Amino acid sequence: MSLPRTAGAALLVLALASVPVPASAAAAAPAAAEVNYVALGDSYASGTGAGDYSDLPCTRSRNAYPALWAEANDPASFTFAACGGATVPDVLSDQVDELDADTTLVSLSIGGNDSGFASTMLSCRLSTTSACERALAEAGEYVTGELPAELDRLYATVRARAPRAEVVVIGYPYLYKEGGLCLGGLGSAKRTAVNQGSDLLNETIADRAEAAGFTFVDGRPAFAGHEICTSDAWISSTNVHPTAEGHESAYLPAFAAAAGN
């Protein structure tokens, strides 16, 4: 901010500076200028499908909720490390190095790719209902059997590298509206099965985030009424990812509420 250029403005500044500030106001949440924010995760964090990409190989979008939050709050620093297609090992090898003792805020969305999101959705979109359900069952076995330990390892690394950061773990939305017709989309049984898979994944992520002392943000209520097959979908039926509106109207306010800004 530039200094006042006129004497009148200078006097006004001095006058305002003499007004006492209540202790409660002084103790309010830290200004965003004091925040060092690092965004980690997969395509749901990077903004795949949201357009206006700043980094095409990782599909990092200027419309993604981390970029929108940083633009609105102007933190002291912002590192957008999330990358489309990332798994837990990818975050550990390619992203967590961006964290340090000065990091004060971390967002993290991960786990979908580890459980075979892409191949499972391909089975559900192109194969029979029974094939879709088998693919989801296989993914579910990984989610309950192996993913918890993977998340524990990642969360412990995040805490060790950013010991004083507020860590917000973002969950995944329901992809489809259940019940009724879905022209050009999945049949009712498939949609129900996919959403049940989302429940299992979110419950696992939330459980491990809570165990690590992190804040979990549930994407399901954030996108409620705006899933694929609704009249105002915020998830693309083409790539099954949140649209720019989904990031702005669902993920951003949910994350901002958790981050306290």
More confident residue, 32 or 240: 240
Percentage of the residues of the chain whose pLDDT score is greater than 70: 87
pLDDT reading at 124 higher than 50:
yes
**Span 126-137, average pLDDT:** 95
Cα–Cα nearest to 37, from 76, 89, 85: 76
User: What pLDDT, on a 0 to 100 scale, did the predictor assign at position 32?
Assistant: 66
Cα–Cα nearest to 41, from 261, 236, 260, 205: 205
Strand arrangement, sheet containing 215-217:
77-80, 36-41, 105-109, 166-170, 215-217
What is d(CA 87, CA 212) in angstroms, rounded to the nearest whole number?
A: 19
Q: Using an 8 Å Cβ cutoff, are 204 and 144 in contact? A: yes
Residues 6+ apart with CB under 8 A from 41: 82, 86, 91, 95, 107, 108, 109, 110, 170
pLDDT reading at 109 higher than 70:
yes
Percentage of the residues of the chain whose pLDDT score is greater than 90: 83
pLDDT reading at 16 higher than 50:
no
Which pLDDT band holds residue 27 (cuts at 50, 70, 90)?
very low
pLDDT reading at 112 higher than 90:
yes
User: What pLDDT, on a 0 to 100 scale, did the predictor assign at position 11?
Assistant: 30
User: What pLDDT, on a 0 to 100 scale, did the predictor assign at position 181?
Assistant: 80
Q: Using an 8 Å Cβ cutoff, are 226 and 248 in contact? A: no
Picking from 3-12, 46-55, 216-225, 250-259, which range would have the lowest pLDDT averaged per residue?
3-12
Cα separations in angstroms, 119 against 8, 46, 116, 136, 233? 67, 20, 6, 10, 23
pTM, rounded to two decimals: 0.85
Residues 6+ apart with CB under 8 A from 178: 188, 191, 192, 195
Catalytic positions, please?
43, 241
Residues 6+ apart with CB under 8 A from 251: 65, 170, 219, 222, 242
Say which amino acid occupies 47: G
What is d(CA 227, CA 144) in angstroms, rounded to the nearest whole number?
A: 25
Cα separations in angstroms, 212 against 41, 163, 168, 169, 206? 17, 12, 11, 11, 10
For 159-209, what is each residue's pLDDT tens digit?
999 999 999 999 999 999 998 888 767 999 999 999 999 999 999 999 999
Concatenated DSSP letters of 62-125: TTSHHHHHHHHH--SEEEE---TT--HHHIIIIIGGG--TT--EEEEE-STTTTTHHHHHHHHH
Which pLDDT band holds residue 251 (cuts at 50, 70, 90)?
very high
pLDDT reading at 238 higher than 60:
yes
End-to-end Cα separation, the chain, in angstroms: 21
What is d(CA 151, CA 153) in angstroms, rounded to the nearest whole number?
A: 5
